[in-house]
Amino acid sequence: MAHAKLSPSAAKIWMGCPGMPQLLSSMNVEYKVGIPAATGTLVHEMVETLLKGRLNNLTLEEYYLDSTHHIDDFDITVDQEMIDCAHVYVDYIKKRSEELNVKRPLIEERVNMVEIHDQLWGTADAILIGENIIEVVDLKAGKWAVEPDSPQLKIYALGALSRYGNAECTVQMTIVQPRGWHKDGIIRSYSISAANLVDWAYETLKPAAEACFEEIPTYNYSKDGCRWCNAKEVCETYKLNQMEK
């Protein structure tokens, strides 16, 4: 699977450490995923299959339960918890589509942010276009709590706004995380005006994106950023900080 050099899912990392994208590219570091990410990929596949009506009158349980799928070098067997996770997300998409009078939810929609940088693009799980409101909905199948105002969702929201919205739009970003724990529940939303989202894009996102392509980019160590970075095994800044510890 192709990945953007400025991947929205890794935005929190490269916005804090501009050297990460070039290091991944120049050192030819393989894009690695673990079992949780592979499981999430399978749950997303189930969701897309259901929302796009590909089950031929079968239920998710009838089609998927106890079946094994080879995802990113892992054999993942579908259990009831994974199916329940998919149902929670699909139910939310259907409910919000009715509330917003959405004719057709956009599922697994590619969005580009060329106004910010030509290497910034990604795939939003769902985009719901209502009257003067755009909602970007992201399914998180893992248990690590994610906030809806994350850079990742803001980038998806920006791409959706650029293609489908206008200056009067309100943009809502929603996380659906059935298996995670958060004080605000498994479905969490954050709203922002189109003007404020565009301001963030040009004042914060664009400089961060451009910094990643400087001739000698900056490498910054951080506990959270390095934890999820696929380049840390070959990163001298990470190694030095580990040695100091």
- Decide if 221 is inside a domain: yes
pLDDT of residue 32: 61
Q: What domain range includes position 100?
A: 9-244
Residue 72: count of CB within 10 angstroms of its CB:
16
Q: Give the pLDDT band (50/70/90) at residue 31.
A: low
Q: Give the pLDDT band (50/70/90) at residue 15.
A: very high
CA proximity to 234, closest of 25, 36, 10, 9: 25
3-state secondary structure the chain: CCCCCCCHHHHHHHHHCCCHHHHHHHCCCCCCCCHHHHHHHHHHHHHHHHHCCCCCCCCHHHHHCCCEEEECCEEEECCHHHHHHHHHHHHHHHHHHHHCCCCCCEEEEEEECCCCCCCCEEEEEEEEEECCEEEEEEECCCCCCCCCCCHHHHHHHHHHHHHHCCCCCEEEEEEECCCCCCCCCCEEEEEEEHHHHHHHHHHHHHHHHHHCCCCCCCCCCCHHHHHCCCCHHHCHHHHHHHHHC
Number of domains comprising the chain: 1
Domain with residue 71: its CATH number is 3.90.320
pLDDT of residue 126: 97
- Decide if 14 is inside a domain: yes
- Decide if 115 is inside a domain: yes
Cβ-Cβ contacts under 8 Å for 118 (sequence gap 6 or more): none
Per-residue pLDDT tens digits for 96-108: 999 999 989 999 9
- Decide if 2 is inside a domain: no
Per-residue pLDDT tens digits for 190-232: 999 999 999 999 999 999 999 999 999 999 999 888 988 988 8
- Among 98-102, 141-145, 236-240, the minimum mean pLDDT is found in 141-145
- Decide if 4 is inside a domain: no
- Decide if 44 is inside a domain: yes
Cβ-Cβ contacts under 8 Å for 124 (sequence gap 6 or more): 106, 108, 109, 111, 136, 138, 156, 159, 160
- Decide if 133 is inside a domain: yes
Query: How far apart (Å, rounded) are the C-alpha atoms in residues 228 and 164?
Result: 32
pTM for this prediction: 0.92
The mean pLDDT of the chain is 92
Q: Which two tokens stand for residue 131?
A: 């009257």
pLDDT of residue 183: 86
Q: Give the pLDDT band (50/70/90) at residue 180.
A: confident
- Decide if 142 is inside a domain: yes
Question: Would the pLDDT of 2 be above 60?
Answer: no
CA dihedral for 171, 126, 36, 176, sign (positive or negative): positive
